Amino acid sequence: MEFSGYDINKYSPRQMVALPLALLLLALAVLGYTTLATGLPLTPGIDFAGGTAVTVFTSDSRETIEATFAGYPLLSVGEGVGDGKYVQFGPMDDDQYRSFSALVNEKYPGAKVDQIGETFGKTLQSQAFLALIFSFIGVAIVIFIAYRNPVASGAIVLAAASDITITAGAMQVLGIPLSLGTTAALLMLIGYAADSNVLLTTRLLKRKGKFEEKLSGAFRTGIIMTTTTLGAIVAMWVVATAGQIQIISAIASVLIIGLLADMMNTWMLNAGILKAHIFRSGKK
């Protein structure tokens, strides 16, 4: 597959990094604004805020469901293909939850129900935050050990951080909440970012040959790589969304956004930085 529309060697480093950096800043602004407004960079889902999620296959309309649960803190009714419904509720106290439970059992005995308490959600949130921090530090250390070149390693870490930030910003804009599943997907992005960026950096720094050829060669491999992965993930997203499997659908949507962000960050941001670095240090 060739993306003839983008000739990676045509642009100057400054042009290459402009768009990714602009998007990164925009994402930071979105996340910063959300943090100021709510105290958290992303809207927490039920896993982290507490609440109840009900997955049910029913021919009842959204209005019927809303009417059935009128007395409860209903947040949203999501509809999949066919009869699948994903209904979310805010936190309830013990008594309310008991009567809620009885109601679900009576109306929709075939439903999948998951409930997380508010304080337990907070604990999960801080644990997920810890995981994110540990992961990122660990990855940065591995990359620095692997290259021992501050510019190359810094560019990879920046690209990975930017992947996560831009994806998180997009999640906030699209209304995908932060849950355990999406946190895992953000972590997984670090892995995908490493694949493509390490490929680029290794090809450019370790191979002999003309810079332009090395770059377009790496680009060709990288694009086929990412689009293939994208194919697998899109397939997963389509089936899971149609089948109303919330957790897989959420993981897949975050991975799709992230892979798109990664293509941009690898082939514009990281490639731009490396191009400037290589030309400045005079090794062609």
- Residues numbered 164 to 223 that lie near other proteins (CB under 8 A) are 180-181, 183-184, 187-188, 190-192, 194-196, 198-199, 202, 206-207, 217, 220-221
Exposure b/e, 56-79, CB count within 10 A at least 16 = b: beeebeeeebeebbeebebeebbe
Residue whose C-alpha is closest to residue 183's, from 38, 89, 44, 33: 44
Give me 72's structure tokens.
């409860």
Q: Which residue has the tokens 């355990």?
A: 180
Within 24-63, the residues that bind other proteins by CB under 8 A are 55, 57
Least distance from other proteins to the Cβ atom of residue 219, Å: 11
Give me 29's structure tokens.
């602004």
Strands (E), the chain: 51-57, 74-79, 84-89, 112-116
**φ, ψ for residue 221, nearest 5 deg:** -60, -45
Helix (H, G, I), strand (E, B) or coil at 39: coil
Least distance from other proteins to the Cβ atom of residue 232, Å: 4
Judged by beta carbon, residue 30 or residue 273, the one nearer other proteins is 273
Among 62, 127, 173, 280, contact with other proteins (rule: CB under 8 A):
127
Among 117, 161, 205, 211, contact with other proteins (rule: CB under 8 A):
117
Judged by beta carbon, residue 68 or residue 101, the one nearer other proteins is 101
What's the Cα-to-Cα distance from 35 to each of 30, 38, 43, 99, 169, rounded to whole Å? 9, 5, 9, 35, 12
Among 123, 173, 174, 280, contact with other proteins (rule: CB under 8 A):
123
Least distance from other proteins to the Cβ atom of residue 116, Å: 5
Q: Which residue has the tokens 């109840």?
A: 52
**Total of chain residues touching other proteins, rule CB under 8 A:** 74
Judged by beta carbon, residue 30 or residue 72, the one nearer other proteins is 72
283 is a contact residue toward other proteins (CB under 8 A): no
Span from 11-19, 26-34, 231-239, 265-273 in contact with other proteins (CB under 8 A): 231-239
256 is a contact residue toward other proteins (CB under 8 A): no
Among 5, 39, 110, 282, contact with other proteins (rule: CB under 8 A):
110
Among 131, 161, 260, 276, contact with other proteins (rule: CB under 8 A):
131
Alpha carbon distance 138, 140 (integer Å): 5
Least distance from other proteins to the Cβ atom of residue 163, Å: 12
Among 16, 171, 204, 233, contact with other proteins (rule: CB under 8 A):
233
Residues 6+ apart with CB under 8 A from 18: none
